[in-house]
């Protein structure tokens, strides 16, 4: 495994800039991986690791950068909870930990880097040296991942009877005798604009 600084540099390149969220995400990964027995997340252990992130903010880019897990590989699941937390699962051993960044760490940063007046820069510097206990709440958890959410080929592929889109991985709904995609069942997030050319 690379050093913290090397991982932070790599994460910063992926994210586009350095920020406190990058530090939190990299440190969160290092802690979690050690607790669930993953030594080489992008190499020999890459098929053993699954991550569930609960926020779509900076730390998620760091988690993807360090672990190699991603939505496209189906080794990362995004849960839209708005919480700076992630659950790391060793699929082979089923060991799992949920790690939450503590809000109190923002204020605690003052005792480490009081000389830095800009609060964001102070947090960035302090999060590099604060103890894990001050930064994170660690919960050992058990997670049941449905087969249709695991990496690998789709388990099922069906066509929506209304819009004719193809739906994979058991995301279809069966309502009143029809196979429907979620958008036909619940409403679309977009409105189609019909033009003379389409």
162-181 residue pLDDT tens: 999 999 999 999 999 999 99
Alpha helices in the chain (DSSP H): 4-15, 20-36, 58-67, 105-112, 119-129, 132-135, 182-186
Structural domains present in the chain: 4-147 (3.30.1330.130), 153-198 (no CATH)
Residue 99's pLDDT band, with cuts at 50, 70 and 90, is very high
pLDDT exceeds cutoff 70 at 198: no
Global pTM reads 0.91
Determine the Cα–Cα distance for residues 36 and 93; give it in Å rounded to an integer. 8
| pLDDT of 156 higher than 60 | yes
Q: State the Rg of the chain over Cα.
A: 20
Per-residue pLDDT at 192: 87
7-61 tens-digit pLDDT: 999 999 999 999 999 999 999 999 999 999 999 999 999 999 999 999 999 999 9
Predicted local confidence at residue 130, as pLDDT: 95
Residue of 198, 195, 166, 196 lying closest to 183 (CA atoms): 166
Question: What pLDDT score does 197 carry?
Answer: 67
Residue 113: its pLDDT value, please? 86
Q: DSSP state, 72?
A: T
Instruction: Name the average pLDDT for the chain.
Output: 94
pLDDT tens, 58-73?
999 999 999 999 999 9
Task: Please say whether the beta carbons of 174 and 160 come within 8 A.
Answer: no
């Amino acid at each position: 495994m690379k050093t913290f600084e090397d991982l932070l540099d790599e994460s910063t390149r992926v994210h586009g800039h350095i920020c406190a969220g990058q530090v939190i995400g990299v440190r969160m990964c290092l802690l979690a991986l050690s607790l669930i027995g993953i030594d080489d997340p992008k190499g020999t252990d890459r098929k053993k690791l699954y991550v569930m992130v609960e926020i779509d903010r900076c730390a998620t880019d760091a988690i993807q950068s360090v672990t190699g897990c991603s939505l496209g590989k189906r080794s990362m699941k995004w849960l839209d909870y708005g919480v700076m937390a992630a659950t790391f699962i060793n699929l082979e051993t089923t060991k799992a930990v949920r790690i939450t960044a503590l809000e109190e760490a923002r204020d605690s940063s003052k005792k480490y880097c009081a000389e830095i007046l800009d609060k964001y820069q102070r947090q960035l510097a302090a999060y590099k040296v604060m103890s894990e206990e001050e930064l994170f709440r660690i919960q050992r958890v058990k997670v049941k991942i449905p087969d249709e959410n695991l990496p690998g080929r789709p388990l099922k592929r069906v066509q929506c009877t209304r819009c004719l889109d193809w739906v994979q991985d058991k995301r279809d709904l069966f309502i009143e005798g029809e196979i429907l995609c979620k958008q036909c069942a619940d409403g679309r997030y977009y409105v189609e604009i019909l033009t003379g050319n389409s």
